[in-house]
Amino acid sequence: MQINSINEAEHNTAILILTAERQELLRRREMVEQLEAKVRGLDQECEERKAENGKLHEANRKLKGYIKDRDTEIEELKKAICSRDNLINMLEEDTENLRCEQKKLIQKISTKDHEIRRLNKMNPEWVREVRQAEARVEQLEEANEKLKGDVMERDAEILRLNEKWQ
């Protein structure tokens, strides 16, 4: 009976050991399943992050292009501003020069007007004769221009006739 008791004790010990091992295996299986679930969750998160990173990379690429375009536009605008500044400076110089020239011309006109008044007072008859002479000169110049036109027409006619006879 003692053997049976030993066998029964060994059997009970073996059952206890197997039960403990089974519980350990179940605990480990549960831990493995939890870890696998966690890995699947991390894999899914990695895929989401990769997709998000891809979108961010594309957005950053577009933003870099946008920034490059804006930098180019800024440089062009700086050049345009510099060009306009130079033009404004030149125009300011021209304006100042024109004002000086205008003052000189106004002084010359004043001097000429004074001289005309003085001459008109000196000899009104002489002024009338000069104006008549100027009118005659103008008429003669107009007549000369008309004659030049007639001569050119005759020359053209002669050339046409020469071509026709050749």
Per-residue pLDDT tens over the stretch 131-164: 898 888 889 888 888 888 888 888 888 888 888 7
Q: Which two tokens stand for residue 50?
A: 């990769």
Residue bearing tokens 């300011």: 92
CA pair distance 86, 81, nearest whole angstrom: 9
The structure's pTM equals: 0.41
CA pair distance 24, 33, nearest whole angstrom: 14
Residue bearing tokens 């939890």: 34
Supply the pLDDT for residue 49: 94
Q: How far apart are the first and last CA of the chain?
A: 160
pLDDT digits (tens, 9 = 90+) for 36-59: 999 999 999 999 999 999 999 999
SS3 content of the chain, % helix, strand, coil (to 5): 100, 0, 0
For residue 12, the tally of other CB atoms under 10 A from its CB is 10
